[in-house]
Amino acid sequence: MSCDFLALAVPGVQKLSPYVPGKPVDELARELNLDPAGIVKLASNENPLGPSPKALEAIRAELAELTRYPDGNGFELKTKLAARCGVTPAQVTLGNGSNDILDLVARAWLAPGLNAVFSQYAFAVYPIATQAVGAQGKVVPAKAHGHDLEAMLAAIDANTRVVFVANPNNPTGTWFGPDALESFLARVPQSVLVVLDEAYIEYAEGDELPDGLDYLARYPNLLVSRTFSKAYGLASLRVGYALSSPQVADVLNRVRAPFNVNSLALAAACAALDDADYLAASRRTNDAGMAQLEAGFRRLGLSWIPSKGNFIAVDFGCDAAPINQALLQAGVIVRPVAGYGMPTFLRVSIGTEGENARFLEALEQILRG
Ligand SMILES: *Cc1c(COP(=O)(O)O)cnc(C)c1O
């Protein structure tokens, strides 16, 4: 008889469900025999503008070197990020997407008998990273779909090594302000690493959201995680980074895979950092698209969770699965969030004006039909 390798897996892994990504355009095209060119994908919080021309140029210039391993220390990108963020290169850790950073944290500080605290409705990777190393995820009930930082503080116990907080959070788009973060950091035990996930921070304006970097010098137990996947438009290349104390970075550097960020990603990320016009266009497109979707939802009598990300969770007040199915039939891919415990919602990434309009028209037909 063959072995039951599921039963032999780390207990936390046995209870995990695989991450469910947004449906790829080509998959839907195959399933429904649709023209891929006519499909609108607003399901994975991707940048709708296409990559920065400067990033593309940097990638082309790098192609001839593909036989070589990439710079395992990511010297140029770390130097650029450090200068940009006002830290030293020794405080920067590069990741294969910021997802990699979350995994490195779990591998470095979590183990069976230890736990990580995170919120209900928080990013799906937190439980995966935590349970994959046999640690326990302590899920704290959300408040109005957002992080209840007071309750998260109260959930920290002697075995807590990590707290994951996303600001803004995905899939809800909820956020907290500088005062809330300050008051939280001041009370988290110094032995607990706070992972402040700022995957969408580049979309924030003014001082509604704290800038995690402002707190690094005072809180050596703070790690700020960021990504090139969203506002910088490089999701497929997989590059993210952490900013932390040099010691935390040193620990992460011990557990990471030697060449975790590839050379095309390194080159493109450097170029993207220099493309201020692209970033500004990403913001503008997002602000305009957010207003367009909110106006559409208002017109359709729908409610939604106000969001500071590049996506918005809309509430249908009933099972959203049939609406999602009808949208797919119409060639529009959005993200069901029933797996997050939000079965009446769909999460919609902000697209271009035309994509948002296509989605709203399809939705109107479905709801009126
Ligand atoms: C998209 C996202 C990430 C980043 O993913 P990458 O691995 O960098 O592509 C991290 N955290 C949250 C909350 C996200 O939504």
Per-domain residue ranges of the chain: 20-50+277-368, 53-274
Can you give the pLDDT at residue 241? 98
Ligand 1 center to 219 CA (angstroms):
23
Residue range 114-168, pLDDT digits in tens: 999 999 999 999 999 999 999 999 999 999 999 999 999 999 999 999 999 999 9
Any residues with Cβ below 6 Å from ligand 1, and which? 45, 97-99, 123, 166, 170, 197, 199, 227, 229-230, 235, 240
Ligand 1 center to 336 CA (angstroms):
17
Q: Which atom of ligand 1 is nearest to the CA of 197?
A: 11
Mean of the per-residue pLDDT values of the chain? 96
Ligand 1 center to 278 CA (angstroms):
19
Residue range 234-259, pLDDT digits in tens: 999 999 999 999 999 999 999 999 99
Residue closest via CA to ligand 1's atom 6 equals: 97
Q: What is the mean pLDDT of residues 260-271?
A: 98
Handedness of CA 252, 161, 165, 178 (dihedral sign): negative
Can you give the pLDDT at residue 12? 86
Can you give the pLDDT at residue 144? 95
Helix or strand holding residue 312 (H, E): strand 311-315
- The model's confidence at residue 1, banded by pLDDT at 50, 70 and 90, is low
Can you give the pLDDT at residue 19? 85
Ligand 1 center to 28 CA (angstroms):
23
Can you give the pLDDT at residue 133? 96
- The model's confidence at residue 176, banded by pLDDT at 50, 70 and 90, is very high
Residue 79's identity, in one-letter code, is T
Copy the structure tokens of residue 327.
């949208």
Class of domain 53-274: alpha beta
Can you give the pLDDT at residue 20? 82
Helix or strand holding residue 160 (H, E): strand 160-166
Residue range 177-236, pLDDT digits in tens: 999 999 999 999 999 999 999 999 999 988 899 999 999 999 999 999 999 999 999 999
Residue closest via CA to ligand 1's atom 1 equals: 199
Distance, CA of 299 to CA of 3 (rounded, Å) = 57
- The model's confidence at residue 312, banded by pLDDT at 50, 70 and 90, is very high
Residue range 315-364, pLDDT digits in tens: 999 999 999 999 999 999 999 999 999 999 999 999 999 999 999 999 99
141 burial level (CB within 10 Å; 0-12, 13-18, 19+): exposed
Bridge partners of 345, per DSSP, are 315
Residue 262's identity, in one-letter code, is N
Q: What is the mean pLDDT of residues 31-37?
A: 92
Nearest to 152 by CA among 108, 196, 94, 97: 196
Distance, CA of 159 to CA of 166 (rounded, Å) = 21
Q: Does domain 20-50+277-368 fall into CATH 3.90.1150.10?
A: yes
Residue range 95-109, pLDDT digits in tens: 999 999 999 999 999
Distance, CA of 246 to CA of 25 (rounded, Å) = 42
Report whether pLDDT(112) > 70: yes
| Pocket residue to mutate for ligand 1, from 104, 230, 260, 307, most atoms within 8 A of Cβ | 230
| Strand duo 160-166 + 332-333: pairing | unpaired
Ligand 1 center to 203 CA (angstroms):
14
